[in-house]
Amino acid sequence: MESWTSHALKRVVVGAVMALAMGVQVAPAMAHAALVKTEPPRRALLAKAPAEVRLWFNEDIESAYASLVVLDTGKHPVTEVTPHLAQDDQKSLVLPLPELTPGKYSVKFRVLSLDGHVIQSSFDFTVKGTVQEK
């Protein structure tokens, strides 16, 4: 008859071998672009209105398929300007803003990463004061 320690050791070894086998068979996952930072930050309460909205992603995005809009409290776009990739960073999307009045604003975006994955989301910020100096 087997001892308890011998039986437990066999279970540990079998478990380790199974875990190793499962890890070897798993193919690496394709990474998709992800939003890593926003300016202004999500849910920010700003003393001065921002001059632009800028989104940073963890990988390059397709500028031709990028959409970024800022809506006022009436859900109207605050500008007709088209967003563009930042000259210094192909992972960053920028939308210049006109002078904003105090109030709550919603940022909505949709981008296509180079691997074909669509990223879309939204966030709000609130302006308490006047526009920032550029």
Mean pLDDT along residues 23-37: 66
pLDDT in tens, 49-88: 999 999 999 999 998 899 999 999 999 999 999 999 999 8
Weakest-pLDDT range from 3-12, 33-42, 57-66, 100-109: 3-12
pLDDT at 40 over 90: yes
Closest by CA to 109, choosing from 96, 98, 122, is 122
| Whether 63 contacts 92, CB under 8 Å | no
When computed from its CA atoms, the radius of gyration of the chain, rounded to whole angstroms, is 24
**Could you give the percent of the chain with pLDDT greater than 70?**
75
| Whether 126 contacts 40, CB under 8 Å | no
Query: What local confidence, expressed as pLDDT, does residue 28 receive?
Result: 45
pLDDT at 24 over 60: no
Query: What local confidence, expressed as pLDDT, does residue 114 receive?
Result: 82
Half-sphere exposure of 2 (CA within 13 A, CB side): 8
